[in-house]
Amino acid sequence: MKNYPPEFKADTVALYESGPETTIGSVAADLGINPETLRNWVRAAGASRPRGRRTPETIQPPEPLEAENAALRKKIRELEEEREILRKAAKYFTGETRW
């Protein structure tokens, strides 16, 4: 088990956080360390960088999505109510024409 100086750990985590395209695997391979070791350092440092290969352009704040979902749910409820009204009306008129 290797012991790394704190400056090396901090610099390595900073290198990982520096670019949106960098991955734990690529940084670890470049520096010759185990990817799990680097992953532990990143967790310990409380890195705020998003996971995966997402870039800042692809990350959307949750507020617009939540608002859109709420609007869509409301529209679904309205359409279901309208459909139910039409079903009842169709039953009424088909029953009325049989007399």
pLDDT in tens, 41-50: 999 988 655 5
pTM of the model: 0.47
Same domain? For 69 and 99 the reply is: yes
Domain of 17: which CATH number? 1.10.10.60
Q: What is the pLDDT of residues 20-39, one digit of tens each?
A: 788 899 999 988 999 999 99
Q: How far apart are CA 30 and CA 64, in angstroms?
A: 39
Asked whether residue 40 is assigned to any structural domain, the reply reads yes
Asked whether residue 55 is assigned to any structural domain, the reply reads no
Q: How many CB atoms within 10 Å of residue 15?
A: 14
| Mean pLDDT for the stretch of residues 44-64 | 63
pLDDT band at 3 (very low <50, low <70, confident <90, very high): confident
Residue 99 identity: W
Q: Specify the DSSP class assigned to residue 56.
A: T
Q: Specify the DSSP class assigned to residue 50.
A: P
Please check the confidence at residue 99 and state whether its pLDDT lies above 80: no
The residue range of the domain holding 83 is: 60-99
**What domain count does the chain have?**
2
CB contact at 8 A, 9 and 41: yes
Neighbouring residues of 47: CB distance < 8 A, sequence distance ≥ 6: 13, 16, 17
